[in-house]
Structure 1
Amino acid sequence: MLSLQHVTKMIDAQPLVSDVSFDVEKGQCFGLIGPNGAGKSTLMKLISGVYDTTGGQVRLDGQPIKRWSHKKRAQRVSVLTQDGLSPYPISVLNAVMMGRYPHLKFFQRESDDDMKRVQDVLAITGLSNMQDQMLDTLSGGERQRVAIAKAMVQEPDLLLLDEPTSYLDIGYQTEVLNLVQDWQKRTGLTVLMVLHDLNLAAQYCDRLILMDKGEVVKEGTSDDILTTETLATVYQTTPEIVRHPTKNIPQILL
């Protein structure tokens, strides 16, 4: 579904991303991990079409992403950043309804079907009783849940998450990622997410891509990537690796 072919991004002759290639199949959840400055967020901007590549191509269903119109791209790809939705003085209902805009024609009003989709998503995300509240009265974790509901209403094929759990406590972290995981299982959604928390990455991602200095160091399962030797080389620290007591996946202790 998503294919990166020798993608490079240069700014002022400095490489931010260098010769990155990988494929994500429909329905997979890929995690981008790596230290600060590894090029993860830059890569997400290249995938979403916010940045133009200096070299190589990002393809969605075989077509270069830049050939898709903004409207068509918004119908297929949804992006959620660590900041979520800004605390504007609009209601939760109206914020979530914004996810339907890519599917509406110019000056077209929302239909009864659009409203039903929004109400269904509000119920799924546990926001029905908050739909009349204003965004600027919600906590950061609650706004992030609204942002996911807005993305769900958008009905994309590909969801890009750039550090969606930053600044959230562990309760909201698992709530946000469980919502995404349930959505993925229910619809076959394809997910690519940047995560700094390696334990969450191991628990929620099918495959991981470890980046450093703009390059892909290694791609594979959490067992392939989360080894003492690999992490010590990239993160310049030596972690202890233990097995999760119920999921039997690697977890990191410092």
Structure 2
Amino acid sequence: MLDLQNVSKSIEGKTIVNDITFSVQKGSCVGLIGPNGAGKSTLVKLVSALEKPSGGSIQFIGKDVQDWTVKKLARHIAVLTQGGLDPYPITVFDAVLMGRYPHLGFFERESKSDYGQVDEVLNITGLTDFRDQMLDTLSGGEKQRVAIAKAMVQQPQLLLLDEPTTFLDIGHQKHILKLVKDWQKRDGLTVMMVLHDLNLAAQFCDELVLMDEGQIVNIGTSRDIITSETLEKVYHTNPEIIQHPTLNIPQILL
């Protein structure tokens, strides 16, 4: 579904992303991990066509992302940034309804079908009771749920998440990522997310792409990537690695 070939990005002579090549299969969840400044967020911006690569190509369902119009690309790719939704003084219902805009024609108004989709997604995401509450009165975790709901009604094929659990407590972290995982399984959604928490990445991602200094260090499962030798090389620390008692995946203790 998504194919990156020799992708590079330089800004003012500084290389941020260097010769990145990998593919994302339909229906999979790929985690971008690595230390600060590794180029992960820049890569998300390149995939979403918010920025243009200095070299290489990014093909989405057989077409370069730079060749799509913004509105047509938004019908297929949804993006959730670290900050989530801006706290505008609008209701939760209206905030989620904005996800339908890419599917509307010029001067076309939302239909009963659009409203019905919003109500359905509010129910799925546990936001029905917040339907008429103002967005700017919600907590950080609640606003992230609204952002997920907005992306859900957008009905994308690919969801891009840039550190979606930052600043959230462990309860909200689990809830947000479980919403995404359930959505992935239910609709065959393809997901690419940036995560700093390696334990969460191991639990929720099918494949990990480890980056450092703008380059790919390794690609594989959590068992391939989360090893003492690899983490010491990239993060310059030597954590204890244990097996999750029920999931049988590596987890890190500092």
The answer to whether the superposition gives a TM-score over 0.5 is: yes
Structure 1 residue 107: Cα displacement: 1.1
Q: Counterparts in 2 of 1:1-254, with a 5 A limit?
A: 1-254=1-254
Structure 1 residue 26: Cα displacement: 0.3
Report the 3-state secondary structure (helix = DSSP H, G, I; strand = E; otherwise coil) of the residue aligned with 1:83: coil
Report the 3-state secondary structure (helix = DSSP H, G, I; strand = E; otherwise coil) of the residue aligned with 2:75: helix
Report the 3-state secondary structure (helix = DSSP H, G, I; strand = E; otherwise coil) of the residue aligned with 1:165: coil
Structure 1 residue 14: Cα displacement: 1.1
User: Separation in 2 of the partners of 1:50 and 1:23?
Assistant: 19
User: Separation in 2 of the partners of 1:161 and 1:108?
Assistant: 29
Q: Deviation per CA, 1:14-46, whole angstroms, max 9, x where unpaired?
A: 110000000000000000000000000000000
User: Separation in 1 of the partners of 2:183 and 2:197?
Assistant: 21
Q: Deviation per CA, 1:27-85, whole angstroms, max 9, x where unpaired?
A: 00000000000000000000000110000001101110010111110000000011111
Structure 1 residue 136: Cα displacement: 0.8
Amino acid at match of 2:141: G
Report the 3-state secondary structure (helix = DSSP H, G, I; strand = E; otherwise coil) of the residue aligned with 1:192: strand
Percent of paired sites with the same residue: 64
Amino acid at match of 2:142: E
Amino acid at match of 1:213: E
Amino acid at match of 2:97: M
User: Separation in 2 of the partners of 1:200 and 1:82?
Assistant: 16
* Structure 1, unaligned runs of 5 or more: none
User: Separation in 1 of the partners of 2:197 and 2:170?
Assistant: 11
Amino acid at match of 1:77: I
| Aligned positions, number | 254
Structure 1 residue 86: Cα displacement: 1.2
Amino acid at match of 2:92: V
Output the aligned Cα RMSD: 0.4
User: Separation in 2 of the partners of 1:252 and 1:85?
Assistant: 31
Amino acid at match of 1:165: T
Q: Deviation per CA, 1:152-171, whole angstroms, max 9, x where unpaired?
A: 00000000000000000000
* Structure 2, unaligned runs of 5 or more: none
Amino acid at match of 1:100: R
**What TM-score does the superposition give when structure 1 sets the normalisation length?**
0.99
